[in-house]
Amino acid sequence: MSNLKIVRPGVELLPSGDERGLDPRDLSPADLEALNHQAMPASKAIRLHCVECSGGSAVEARMCVTVGCSLWPFRLGVSPWKAERQFTEEQREAARERGQALARKSDARVGAAVNLTGNLEGSAGAGISASHANSSPAISGRAA
């Protein structure tokens, strides 16, 4: 935070006599709320600005033809560069296979852990019991 004089909430006075808005990175959430700002994603703030720029009309913001404005791609409140990815059927199938392979690997690790604990090989239910029977008292809730 600078040592400049605050001339009104959120505004400091430069030695030149000009006023300058405070750096919001220097302000706490409480400071920002005192200036009537709410926590929100930048995309929502842009949307609010565009609606305000359009005379308070969401329809007019949608209709905006000022394509040269740097906010224009964001005026609907989302980043078009972060749009939900579209997957092909091949990509979905590959993801399914990766998930199944991971699940098999995880099952194998659990099975190996059960075998290491000793005499509870066999049913899946016994495997779960073996795991709990060998867990620490802090995790299982049992006294040592």
Contact footprint for ligand SF4 (CB under 6 A): 49-50, 53-54, 61, 64, 66, 69, 71-72, 75
Q: How far apart are CA 94 and CA 79, in angstroms?
A: 28
Give the nearest distance from C-beta 81 to ligand SF4 in angstroms.
16
For residue 15, what are the CA distances in angstroms to 1, 21, 31, 140? 16, 14, 24, 66
Least distance from C-beta 8 to ligand SF4, angstroms?
A: 26
Length of the chain as a residue count = 144
Q: Are 59 and 49 in contact (CB under 8 A)?
A: no
Q: Minimum Å distance from CB 10 to ligand SF4? A: 21
Min CB(73)–ligand SF4 separation in Å: 8
Nearer to ligand SF4, 76 or 126 (CB): 76
Smaller CB distance to ligand SF4: residue 39 or 65?
65
Q: Name which of 62 and 98 has its Cβ closer to ligand SF4.
A: 62
Q: With beta carbons less than 8 A apart as the criterion, state whether 19 and 12 touch.
A: yes
What CA–CA distance (Å, rounded) separates 61 from 80? Answer: 16
